Structure 1
């Protein structure tokens, strides 16, 4: 199928805008590649230090004739998604040996969980943990004793951070290795209902805790379609997984064999292999557009309107919210996974998963097929489903219809002719809104606003009954420069309750919402942010604000002269404690959300 003209036009726009930086990037990784294998160039003392920690692989490493794989791992046993990686390195060393290679853990990176820190001080470190992970990845690979790398990470900031750091070593072949989602527990819809009941004081904390533990109950990623699982969909669409690896459950034969296949494949595309391909060559403009398309077609996390531009910048590529907006108006919504539906990612996988969505997008000319991936046959490989047959890993073509057409649709009968995002513009700046789970009659909300500077104050006002009316809740000084741009997911239950009571409700903020944001319209990532003079700082209680996803409008309905004359609200004092003061340099140097909200990338002039 020929590529859709609008997909081609957006890609051409990305290519043109990226021309200079992309050329610089490709020249950089070409120099790195042409300098040759670093290990023979290192001094003997340097190599001795690198080999001292291993016994069983030392002779093979000394010989220097086989590929050495660097493992960068986000393992910890605090977080369910990353606890799965506990035994991976020792298993991967065995599988590397099967492929005639060696493997060493090059380094570990932090993995924090927004689910644990949500609503508390630790969330103010969350976004900048991505840049910390990128720096940790660069430190791990800086030893230059590897001819390829395996990146072990799954969740919100971890995958973007690993990729940003790894792309600066883009001459190396690499593969991302996921761990899979936990099996289904208490449904996401039931969990959300208990949260709303607790917000209204109808159930106790003990009841809420039991519901949460029934939902989050074992190793693996959470089962809703938030940022973590959106990561996995995007990695499939960029061709950086072994095909179909995203959503196989931990502890299964399929999961083990997919990881084994990833190690074997990395050896095949390695430094001296016939199929050598560096990470920086795979992550090109078409791959970035494919990632955006997959995100939109599945109603994925709004966090990737920050993360994907940051990943792209690390490869010399510029994609912006206008590109997302144009793609969203072209790409149909093909899946209904919570919060865009009642199903979870296990049901999504059972219905056909990423492979079915990618197959449909390719069939309709809505995704670039002519791209390099870690698989030998390009994007076509990601349109097939992995299975275990007779103890062996195989891939099968998919049937014409999904296993559950209430979860995954075909192009012939999509859930919506458009994807899940819109860009909003007006005298308050630029923001984005996820509409895939918002009922159409709520796409436009016009109401007096109530202005806050933190989400705890919103919760207090809700409990006091002060928000029982049509209201636009404004939460400002939540941008990257102000306090690290935390997610405001604690607002989801009270705002949902107000909407259930029949009020017209919306949120406007320069902060983030969770990848699980759903039925309440939320204008988020507002730029420029309040700190430093963003127009959101001019809003006063009672100002009428219009949020309109239909027309792409975000406006304070205040007379122009009065608006121009208003002074900015004073920002709150910077907070300390919980390590927040240590991230001051990242806040001070951070650029706007649309650019990726990164001090690191800004300072590097990427």
Structure 2
């Protein structure tokens, strides 16, 4: 294992220093909770009777062996979300696995799990970011009973993993393992899916052909196979050592998948406080683990949504990370993976090429990851191995070379010498751009702006051929305070069509783009947001805007004196519906995107 890269070491040291007071307070909190918080030995007989009543098959064991671990399962199961439909039988299986090692397990609670693929472009997308806080709070409620000595978190997708982690970190004295379900087998090739979407945007194919293509893409149980936020979650959890090693991308319904779940349950029983290998979540998630997550995200060209989620998860553990940290790491970390939308192949091809095992191994060799973090399994070097079956037994094998260098490469021969994300700053504020999927000649766009306050207005202008030119499309009043910061993935096909017609096109928004952000340069998460006076509220149609990812700048090329005298645009009137009105507290109390976009953490002073 190599020495840690100087930039990684520098950024980590800065985060440690910046976070010192909050991290100390957090560690004091979880130590107090371990010593004097609510747990089974402190529950009264009536409390215990209620806690045992629903678990007839394990009631005697829970009474007779009070020091044996009782695992609280927090599940995001539903059968609308394909990634989570796989969890249907997990709790019953996990109870059996727990009994195999003298432990017990109960479903502590369920959390909501919305599918961004279903809500893209719909009003429900305005609840998406805030669903993360709701999931965190639901996790806290589930674990608040004090009946558990460890936790198993069943969740995979976009806001669900961050929400589970944030909630579980408030019980950071408990050992905790995330248990994935795996991706669905590959469907229609990604290039074909994009082709049909763009043809539909141009009106060249109808809804029947589009629906046929989409169903062929998202065709069965399992996580969607593109490298968006859900699969970026999985890579990050591996890099933080919160999975059983290389559990992320084994397909559902296989013997290997089941054995990894069994291993997670068995391992939880081994790392409890009553044993000699205590590994509480709050100690596992430290500054080095957070940096590892960021490095793995950047090295694989992962989702821009984690420029919001990772700071939020870190804050829940008393750690402060910002976009300067992302930018400095991205400048030093090589891009070693090409997975759709950053390449033609999906996460199944990524796993076959070596997956997270090879990714972690080569990044460790290059000194880009901290090898001395506390993981839920063993040493972090274990995460550079992939699971195999030897007969019926689970084992791990080394992955010394990438098996397909069109998908995955060694750190010394990367696809790009730097990672997949850039910080842009200027008179329009601060924002991020995912550059891993954008051709370098498109990193700079300077053109007259067309300003919108709603993504449907953009699509109407596209259909009316009002955008047939070099253009910077600005969509404002999409920030967390305005409307919950929806993803604007609905715009991708139309903007892609304009770009394919030879125009220079960029998107600028205080909203989010999908974790599957693709070939069109998108300056997103613009802060301060338009609501409340962010400078993007000063923009007018026709202003020349320069989006420059090569030099890290974003500016309206308007004379300073004129710029400062301009009135701010008014936000569109908020419209009730889809329950959005009941999330007003979250909109009004939310922190900035760079601080994690969380009302819950902001109001708690975290």
TM-score, normalised with respect to structure 2: 0.99
2:493 matches 1:505 = no
Give secondary structure in 1 for the equivalent of 2:57.
coil
Change (3 A) 1:246 1:513: same
2:493 matches 1:484 = no
Give per-residue Cα distances to partners, 1:87-110, cap 9 Å, x unaligned.
000000000000110000000000
Give secondary structure in 1 for the equivalent of 2:332.
coil
Give per-residue Cα distances to partners, 1:271-290, cap 9 Å, x unaligned.
21111110000000000000
Is the 1:148–1:174 Cα contact (8 Å) retained in structure 2? yes
Match of 2:104 among 102, 105, 118: 102
- The correspondence of residues 275-314 of structure 1 with structure 2, limited to 5 A, is 275-314=277-316
Give secondary structure in 1 for the equivalent of 2:223.
coil
2:48 matches 1:47 = yes
Work out the CA distance in 1 between the residues paired with 2:42 and 2:559: 68
Q: Which residue does 2:341 correspond to in 1?
A: 339
Q: Which residue does 1:84 correspond to in 2?
A: 86
2:116 matches 1:123 = no
Q: Which residue does 1:171 correspond to in 2?
A: 173
Work out the CA distance in 2 between the residues paired with 1:476 and 1:351: 40
Is the 1:74–1:158 Cα contact (8 Å) retained in structure 2? yes
Give secondary structure in 2 for the equivalent of 1:243.
coil
- The correspondence of residues 207-606 of structure 1 with structure 2, limited to 5 A, is 207-377=209-379, 379-399=380-400, 401-606=401-606
Work out the CA distance in 1 between the residues paired with 2:39 and 2:322: 36
Q: Root-mean-square deviation (CA), in Å? A: 0.7
- The correspondence of residues 14-25 of structure 1 with structure 2, limited to 5 A, is 14-25=15-26
- The Cα of 1:258 is off from its aligned counterpart by 0.3
Give per-residue Cα distances to partners, 1:549-595, cap 9 Å, x unaligned.
01100000000000000010011001210000010100000010000
Give secondary structure in 1 for the equivalent of 2:56.
coil
Give per-residue Cα distances to partners, 1:144-171, cap 9 Å, x unaligned.
1100000000000000000000000000
Give per-residue Cα distances to partners, 1:52-93, cap 9 Å, x unaligned.
111110001112131100000000001100000000000000
Work out the CA distance in 2 between the residues paired with 1:188 and 1:141: 40
Give per-residue Cα distances to partners, 1:193-244, cap 9 Å, x unaligned.
1000000001010000000000000000000000000000000000000001
- The Cα of 1:376 is off from its aligned counterpart by 1.8
Work out the CA distance in 2 between the residues paired with 1:232 and 1:145: 28
Give secondary structure in 2 for the equivalent of 1:507.
strand
Instruction: Name segments (4+ residues, structure 1) moved above 3 Å.
Output: none
Give secondary structure in 2 for the equivalent of 1:89.
helix
- The Cα of 1:411 is off from its aligned counterpart by 1.6
Work out the CA distance in 2 between the residues paired with 1:514 and 1:99: 42
Is the 1:444–1:549 Cα contact (8 Å) retained in structure 2? yes
- The Cα of 1:34 is off from its aligned counterpart by 1.8
- The Cα of 1:33 is off from its aligned counterpart by 1.4
Work out the CA distance in 2 between the residues paired with 1:280 and 1:40: 22
Q: Which residue does 1:135 correspond to in 2?
A: 137
Work out the CA distance in 2 between the residues paired with 1:140 and 1:11: 33
Give secondary structure in 2 for the equivalent of 1:595.
coil
Is the 1:118–1:487 Cα contact (8 Å) retained in structure 2? yes
Q: Which residue does 2:60 correspond to in 1?
A: 59
Give secondary structure in 2 for the equivalent of 1:511.
coil
Is the 1:306–1:595 Cα contact (8 Å) retained in structure 2? yes
Q: Which residue does 1:13 correspond to in 2?
A: 14
Unaligned runs of 5+ in 1: none
TM-score, normalised with respect to structure 1: 0.99
Work out the CA distance in 2 between the residues paired with 1:41 and 1:305: 40
Work out the CA distance in 2 between the residues paired with 1:147 and 1:389: 31
Work out the CA distance in 2 between the residues paired with 1:15 and 1:54: 44
- The Cα of 1:412 is off from its aligned counterpart by 2.2
- The Cα of 1:188 is off from its aligned counterpart by 1.5
Work out the CA distance in 2 between the residues paired with 1:394 and 1:67: 25
Match of 1:72 among 71, 74, 97: 74
Is the 1:331–1:418 Cα contact (8 Å) retained in structure 2? yes
Work out the CA distance in 2 between the residues paired with 1:125 and 1:333: 32
Give secondary structure in 2 for the equivalent of 1:100.
coil
Is the 1:462–1:494 Cα contact (8 Å) retained in structure 2? yes
Q: Which residue does 1:34 correspond to in 2?
A: 35
Work out the CA distance in 2 between the residues paired with 1:235 and 1:38: 27
- The Cα of 1:37 is off from its aligned counterpart by 7.5
- The Cα of 1:392 is off from its aligned counterpart by 1.2
Q: How many pairs does the alignment contain?
A: 604
Work out the CA distance in 2 between the residues paired with 1:575 and 1:478: 14
Is the 2:38–2:145 Cα contact (8 Å) retained in structure 1? no
Which deviates more, 436-445 or 57-66? 57-66
Is the 2:537–2:568 Cα contact (8 Å) retained in structure 1? yes
- The Cα of 1:36 is off from its aligned counterpart by 7.1
- The Cα of 1:326 is off from its aligned counterpart by 0.2
Is the 1:37–1:147 Cα contact (8 Å) retained in structure 2? no
